[in-house]
């Protein structure tokens, strides 16, 4: 799959890792459901994709313990 435009140095990118978290890199803000910022202190974070992390929305590695499986690519069905 080709990128339409390459990301700039400050653009946020989100990469789903196979059987793991979403890796977010670049300039981004994480907000809670009320719109309050969640301080991340980093330029790269891992967001939980399995739903079992004890530090959600961040990944703590639990996906490995529970055998979480997911592709590292776009899984949408074709239109």
Quote the pTM value. Answer: 0.82
pLDDT for the residue numbered 24? 98
Tell me, yes or no, whether 19 lies in a domain.
yes
pLDDT for the residue numbered 77? 74
In the chain, the number of structural domains is: 1
pLDDT for the residue numbered 5? 65
- pLDDT tens-place string over residues 12-69: 999 999 999 999 999 999 999 999 999 998 999 999 999 999 999 999 999 999 999 9
Tell me, yes or no, whether 7 lies in a domain.
no
pLDDT for the residue numbered 10? 77
Tell me, yes or no, whether 60 lies in a domain.
yes
pLDDT for the residue numbered 75? 87
**Domain holding 40: CATH number?**
3.40.5
Tell me, yes or no, whether 28 lies in a domain.
yes
Q: What residues make up the domain containing 58?
A: 13-66
DSSP 16-50: EPTTS-EEEESS--EE-TTS-EE---SSEEEE-SS
């Amino acid at each position: 799959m080709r990128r339409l435009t390459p990301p700039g140095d400050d653009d946020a990118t989100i990469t789903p890792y196979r059987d793991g978290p979403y890796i977010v890199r670049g300039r981004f803000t994480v907000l809670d459901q009320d719109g309050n910022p969640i301080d991340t202190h980093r330029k790269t974070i891992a967001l939980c994709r399995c739903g079992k992390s004890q530090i959600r929305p961040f990944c703590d590695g639990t996906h490995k313990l529970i055998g979480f499986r997911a592709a590292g690519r776009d899984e949408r069905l074709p239109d």
